[in-house]
Amino acid sequence: MSGWGLGWFGGGAAKKKDSAKNAILQLRAQLEMLSKREKHLQHQMDEQDAIARKNVSANKNVAKAALRRKKQFEHSLEQTSSQIMTLEREIYSIETANINKETLDAMKNAGAAMKQIHAGLTIDKVDQTMEELRDQHAIGEEISEAIGQPMGNQALDEDELDEELAELQQEELDNKMLETGNVPVSDKVHRLPAAAQGELRGKAPAKADEEEDEEEELRKLQAEMAM
């Protein structure tokens, strides 16, 4: 019963995978046995060659028999070497085929996963989602701007600022006129046109120079009287 269940729920795939693995293991075991046989035959050939060389002059029959056995071992060695090459080629082929199959299975699983992920997605749904995100970003920016605006009386009137600036400019003008000695007698002076104020600024230095000249002449007269 358990074997029947495995056949339906992945048991067949596991058997196929194990069969490839078992085949490779069996081929490697056979390859190891043939490699040992190859070394043994090579050792036998070396021994017969040594016997033939030792008796080449003393006993030709023994030397000839040794060479005959050497040829037999050589023939067996060639067959064994050929079998080793065949097994190595088969092992390589099975390993390559198994790797290709596992790679293909992995790609199939990846395709199935991508298909499952994209099952509920369409271009319209993606566009709708992106549009909703853009709307939410716009709402967030509006909220940030609203939070950043000043509250209550913090917002200043531009007219008040202009009026205060004009007062500061007038104070600066008054200070300059005081420094030159031309003090306005009433607020009407501040209302004079710019050209008229310029004339006043031009006459003030001239009047001051005349007064200095008069004082200088007065001092000269006083000095002469004292003499």
Under 8 Å between Cβ of 77 and 38: yes
Tens-digit pLDDT profile for residues 35-62: 999 999 999 999 999 999 999 888 999 9
Distance between CA atoms of residues 39 and 77, nearest Å: 9
Structure confidence at residue 189 (pLDDT): 46
Tens-digit pLDDT profile for residues 178-220: 877 555 544 444 444 544 445 545 545 556 667 777 777 766 7
* Amino acid code (one letter) for 212: E
| DSSP line for 111-133 | HHHHHHHGGG--HHHHHHHHHHH
- Cα angle, residue 206 at apex, residues 204 and 212 outer, rounded to 5°: 105
Q: What is the mean pLDDT of the chain?
A: 79
Structure confidence at residue 17 (pLDDT): 66
| Domain range list for the chain | 17-119
| DSSP line for 151-205 | -GGGSPPHHHHHHHHHHHHHHHHHHHHHHTT---SSGGGGGS-HHHHHHHHHHHH
| pLDDT > 70: percent of the chain | 72
Kindly indicate the confidence band of residue 6, based on its pLDDT and cuts at 50, 70 and 90.
very low
b (16+ CB within 10 A) / e for 33-56: ebeebbeebeebbeebbebbeebe
Distance, first Cα to last Cα, the chain: 154
Structure confidence at residue 158 (pLDDT): 76
Arch. (CATH architecture) of 17-119:
Orthogonal Bundle (1.10)
Tens-digit pLDDT profile for residues 98-134: 899 999 999 999 999 988 888 878 888 888 989 999 9
Structure confidence at residue 221 (pLDDT): 66
Structure confidence at residue 15 (pLDDT): 67
Nearest 5°: phi and psi at 183?
A: -95, 125
